[in-house]
């Protein structure tokens, strides 16, 4: 039977197979960003609840790790099916708490399911090595085993799929998990608890706590039972977690911020570039880590590109993500709108020209007009800061070398895009860009089959692809001697 979104909207934490409230009884409000209306509450848990969740994960670990990879893949496959059977309800829940258009939420939920299926399969392909031995009477094995209890902390912009990339490989590898979803979008995270129970995961394998980020984070970092932290969020918080995790020398995977350049060369197909630009910029109202932060356009096509981008933004219908045809929802909160306004004011004070949008939308609340700013310059704040909103600053350049230098002039190294019709240039530029993800004549490149992850201050480790399970495994070298061979 098809379930409604309310079935997945749990106002409780999952610890050791039980749905529980915070010890203090306190709660956090969850607000629908499209309406500003309170949508529900979740427990405001802290250190004590997190400690219990970690203990429950530790208790569940030996039996889960001992299962064969095939046995672990079975509930993962059920989990995949349960997500797809309930795609619509889960998408509605996501849009109601996060604001993105329903079509994007459906896509995100589908992506979550795809990660689960991918890692259900990858878990069965965790191979070790037999290494040629330098000794005649000894043999060398390299084996892999699950690290133990892992903790996953996730952001509000992709509350379902960011968790899928962590939970699915962790569970497939034989780890157990404590999850802390973002406070603004906790229900899509808590829904994983409902789904995991229904798919038959034993109690304690998946635990979910909501509440005080600092308290939950501190317990996760300090607790020696947690062997790995996997985090997606801002570089600022990621750095704090890396430092705190060093006290107990945990493994860390970090998916952090970005400052994606989108380069358009004179020889590019400009219409294709504009299509790519729309998806690489305005998806999720510009609130993705791989969203274009800076358009770098060669002088010969600059005016043409700006004109076509402006025309394309006019077709983006802004509104409540639950309504048909909406292409851009609200921003997550008032703080996000203020940041966008500040960045636009900074740009215009330094000579930038608003050629589309530039202000709050007539719908009010946190809706903002899709915006394009021509005449962007390197002293403007969005050269170095993540915009996280629907604003396209368009910079101009003359030469290929200049474009590469401008693109790399940031401490971030997550995603970048470039458009060219010249194959030689495609290789030169690709090799010159210091980024973990590169789209060549493509503006949307994430897929479960490929390794996702940033370089420089954008992160450590990869999610998805063959590589995505490796961070949940410890390698062991075993030397077997005295064989008398």
Residues of the shown chain interacting with ligand NAP in the complex, contacts defined by CB under 6 A: 153-158, 162, 180, 182-184, 213-214, 217, 232-234, 237, 240-241, 255-258, 289, 386, 414, 454, 459
Q: Please, what is the minimum distance in Å from the beta carbon of residue 157 to ligand NAP?
A: 5
Are 83 and 113 a contacting pair, CB within 8 Å? yes
479 is catalytic: no
Q: Please, what is the minimum distance in Å from the beta carbon of residue 159 to ligand NAP?
A: 9
Task: Determine the 3-state secondary structure of 261 from DSSP.
Answer: strand
Write the burial class of residue 432 (CB in 10 Å: 0-12 exposed, 13-18 middle, 19+ buried): middle
Residues 6+ apart with CB under 8 A from 442: 276, 417
Residues 6+ apart with CB under 8 A from 93: 5, 8, 9, 187, 188, 191
Closer by beta carbon to ligand NAP, 312 or else 387: 387
**Facing residues of 455 across strands?**
413
Q: Which is nearest to 8 in space by CA: 188, 242, 211, 226?
A: 188
Closer by beta carbon to ligand NAP, 157 or else 369: 157
Q: Please, what is the minimum distance in Å from the beta carbon of residue 237 to ligand NAP?
A: 4
Q: Please, what is the minimum distance in Å from the beta carbon of residue 190 to ligand NAP?
A: 13
Closer by beta carbon to ligand NAP, 103 or else 240: 240
Which residue is at the shortest CB distance from ligand NAP? 217
DSSP 8-state class, residue 368: B
How far is the CA of 450 from the CAs of 71, 73, 165, 193, 324, in angstroms? 25, 20, 12, 26, 32
In degrees and rounded to multiples of 5, residue 318 shows phi and psi of -95, 140
Are 358 and 326 a contacting pair, CB within 8 Å? no
Residue 25 in tokens: 């009884």
CA end-to-end span of the chain: 63
Which residue of the set 175, 289, 291, 416 is catalytic? Answer: 289
Q: Please, what is the minimum distance in Å from the beta carbon of residue 200 to ligand NAP?
A: 27
What is the C-alpha separation between 49 and 56, in angstroms, rounded? 11
CA angle 145/148/153 to nearest 5° reads 125
Q: Which is nearest to 184 in space by CA: 246, 233, 223?
A: 233
Question: Which run of H or of E encompasses 60?
Answer: helix 47-66
Residue 334 in tokens: 């008032």
Closer by beta carbon to ligand NAP, 68 or else 243: 243
What is the C-alpha separation between 415 and 174, in angstroms, rounded? 30
Closer by beta carbon to ligand NAP, 147 or else 254: 254
Q: Please, what is the minimum distance in Å from the beta carbon of residue 216 to ligand NAP?
A: 6
Q: Which is nearest to 206 in space by CA: 14, 390, 66?
A: 14
Closer by beta carbon to ligand NAP, 104 or else 255: 255
Q: Please, what is the minimum distance in Å from the beta carbon of residue 221 to ligand NAP?
A: 8
Q: Please, what is the minimum distance in Å from the beta carbon of residue 240 to ligand NAP?
A: 5
338 is catalytic: no
Closer by beta carbon to ligand NAP, 146 or else 257: 257
Residue 283 in tokens: 């998806």
Closer by beta carbon to ligand NAP, 155 or else 261: 155
Which residue of the set 97, 104, 219, 255 is catalytic? Answer: 255
Residues annotated as catalytic (active site), given as ranges: 255, 289
């Amino acid at each position: 039977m098809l379930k409604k979104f309310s079935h997945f909207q749990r106002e409780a934490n999952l610890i050791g197979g039980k749905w529980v409230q915070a010890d203090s009884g306190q709660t956090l409000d969850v607000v629908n960003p499209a309406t500003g209306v309170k949508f529900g509450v979740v427990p405001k848990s802290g250190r004590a609840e997190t400690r219990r969740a970690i203990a429950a994960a530790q208790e569940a670990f030996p039996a889960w790790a001992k299962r064969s990879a095939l046995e672990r893949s079975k509930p993962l496959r059920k989990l995949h099916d349960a997500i797809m059977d309930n795609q619509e309800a889960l998408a509605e829940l996501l849009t109601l708490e996060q604001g993105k258009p329903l079509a994007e939420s459906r896509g995100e939920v589908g992506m979550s399911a795809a990660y689960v299926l991918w890692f259900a399969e990858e878990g069965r392909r965790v191979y070790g090595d037999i290494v040629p031995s330098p000794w005649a009477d000894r043999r060398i094995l390299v084996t892999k085993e699950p690290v133990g209890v892992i903790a996953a902390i996730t952001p509000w912009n992709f509350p379902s799929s960011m968790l899928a990339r962590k939970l699915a490989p962790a569970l497939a590898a034989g780890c157990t998990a404590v999850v802390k979803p973002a406070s603004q979008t906790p229900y899509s995270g808590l829904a994983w608890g409902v789904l995991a129970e229904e798919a038959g995961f034993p109690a304690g394998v998946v635990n979910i706590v909501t509440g005080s980020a600092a308290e939950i984070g501190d317990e996760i970092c300090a607790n020696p039972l947690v062997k790995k932290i996997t985090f997606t969020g801002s570089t600022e918080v990621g750095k704090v977690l890396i430092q705190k995790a060093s006290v107990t020398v945990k493994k860390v995977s970090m998916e952090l911020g970005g400052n994606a350049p989108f380069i358009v060369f004179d020889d590019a197909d400009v219409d294709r570039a504009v299509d790519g630009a729309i998806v690489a910029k305005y998806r999720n109202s510009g609130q993705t880590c791989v969203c274009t932060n800076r358009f770098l356009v060669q002088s010969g096509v600059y005016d043409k590109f700006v004109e076509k981008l402006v025309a394309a933004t006019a077709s983006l219908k802004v509104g409540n993500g639950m309504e048909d045809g909406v292409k851009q929802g609200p921003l997550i909160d008032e703080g996000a709108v203020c940041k966008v306004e500040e960045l636009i004011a900074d740009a215009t004070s330094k000579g930038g020209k608003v050629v589309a949008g530039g202000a709050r939308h007539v719908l009010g609340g946190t809706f903002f007009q899709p915006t394009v700013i021509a005449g962007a310059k390197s002293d403007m704040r969005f050269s170095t800061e993540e915009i996280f909103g629907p604003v396209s600053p368009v910079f101009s350049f003359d030469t290929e070398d200049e474009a590469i230098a401008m693109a790399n002039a940031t401490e971030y190294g997550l995603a970048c895009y470039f458009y060219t019709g010249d194959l030689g240039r495609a290789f030169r530029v690709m090799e010159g860009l210091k980024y973990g993800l590169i789209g060549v004549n493509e503006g949307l490149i994430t897929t479960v089959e490929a390794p996702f992850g940033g370089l420089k201050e954008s992160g450590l480790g990869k999610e998805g692809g063959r590589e995505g399970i490796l961070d949940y495994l410890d390698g062991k070298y075993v030397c077997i001697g005295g064989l008398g061979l």
